[in-house]
Amino acid sequence: MSSTTSSSKPNKVMKLYKRVTSLPFGHAIFSKMVSRVAPYFGSVKPFISELKVNKCVCVIKKRKAVYNHIKTVHVIAICNGLEMAMGTMAEASIPSHLRWIPKGMNVEYTAKAGTDISCVAEVKPEQWAVGDMFVAVTAYDTNGVAVVKGTIKLWISEKPVKTSAA
């Protein structure tokens, strides 16, 4: 499959992101819009700081609501941010003839998450093909230390061909 499909023409999510983020408080507005589509993401108050084809960065602020018992950012909150980054990246990047659904997530906790966290999901253009796709996800603290590393497994399939009624 050619990688040009996913990067030659912005899809509706990328167009919306570019339009909304050009406004004052645009990143916050776009982040709230995504959280309304998938309401569970709102539980960590995510902030999409960067979105481009094949990459998304979502920030989770360190605050009491996302603490664990040792007052670091709970790994489940981080996984929520990683999944939001992945889903937003996928919706903004997937070629128009394909669709995706998550199949699983594997993560390793590599350091304490004692600051705000940047959740990054990134793929290479050639990964957009029918079958299993592994999206690299990493969460970084404000010092650039990876606190969670993993992959989210997606199932990529062709969209059904629409038939017209005769």
Q: Which tens digit of pLDDT belongs to each residue from 100-110?
A: 999 999 999 99
User: What tens digit of pLDDT does each residue of 17-63 get?
Assistant: 999 999 999 999 999 999 988 888 888 999 999 999 999 999 999 99
- Whether 163 is covered by a domain: the verdict is no
Q: How does DSSP assign 102-158, residue by residue?
A: EEEEEEEE-S---S-EEEEEE--GGG-SSEEEEEEEEEE-TTS-EEEEEEEEEEEEE
Exposure on the CB side of residue 138, measured as CA atoms within 13 A = 12
What's the CATH number where 52 sits? 3.10.129.10
CA angle 49, 145, 105 (to 5 degrees): 70
- Whether 77 is covered by a domain: the verdict is yes
Number of domains in the chain: 1
Q: Which residues contact 162 (CB under 8 A, 6 or more apart)?
A: none
Domain range spanning residue 88? Answer: 4-158
- Whether 166 is covered by a domain: the verdict is no
| The model's pTM | 0.89
Confidence of residue 6 (pLDDT cuts 50, 70, 90): very low
